Amino acid sequence: MYDPLQAGHRLARRSAAWQAGTTALLALMFLLQGVPHALSALVGGASMLAGGAVAARLMVGGGVQAAAGVMIRWFAGAVIKWVLVVVVLALGLLLWRLPPVPMLLGVIVSLVAQMLAMSRR
């Protein structure tokens, strides 16, 4: 029997696994330039991973609801995800003084991995 809520949970887990894997590979590549660059790439990818986890929990965690409730949960998840990403990136840049380019590449690689994971069957 097909359960769309279970399918959403599987998709979220698969997306998180792809994001974590690509972020780890990027950090290993930046390790050649030094630990701060590798850490910066990890922070960028981890911000997307954490934001995606929070958004997934909000978006598919509510069970079966009316369409208005689903749309509110979806919108709230998307907004909270991007607020969390911006806050983590700001902490990385301003508080921890990490290099910005690897951090931005971590976000981009994580986003691409998320899109690829969600587009595959």
| Residue 56: per-residue pLDDT | 83
pLDDT bin (cut points 50, 70, 90) of residue 1 is: low
Q: Say whether pLDDT at 5 is over 70.
A: no
Burial bucket for residue 42 (CB in 10 Å: 0-12, 13-18, 19+): buried
Q: Give 44-82 pLDDT, tens digit per residue.
A: 999 999 999 999 888 877 777 788 888 999 999 999 999
| Distance from C-alpha of 22 to C-alpha of 110, rounded to nearest angstrom | 7
For helices 100-119 and 4-30, the axis angle rounded to 10 degrees is 150
Q: Say whether pLDDT at 102 is over 90.
A: yes
For residue 113, the tally of other CB atoms under 10 A from its CB is 24
| Residue 17: per-residue pLDDT | 94
Q: Say whether pLDDT at 93 is over 80.
A: yes
| Residue 4: per-residue pLDDT | 67
| Residue 65: per-residue pLDDT | 78
Average pLDDT over residues 3-25: 86
Q: Give 22-52 pLDDT, tens digit per residue.
A: 999 999 999 999 999 999 999 999 999 999 9
Q: Is residue 44 within 8 Å of 73, Cβ to Cβ?
A: no
DSSP, residue by residue, the chain: ---HHHHHHHHHHHHHHHHHHHHHHHHHHHTTT-HHHHHHHHHHHHHHHHHHHHHHHHHHSS-S--HHHHHHHHHHHHHHHHHHHHHHHHIIIIIS---HHHHHHHHHHHHHHHHHHHH--
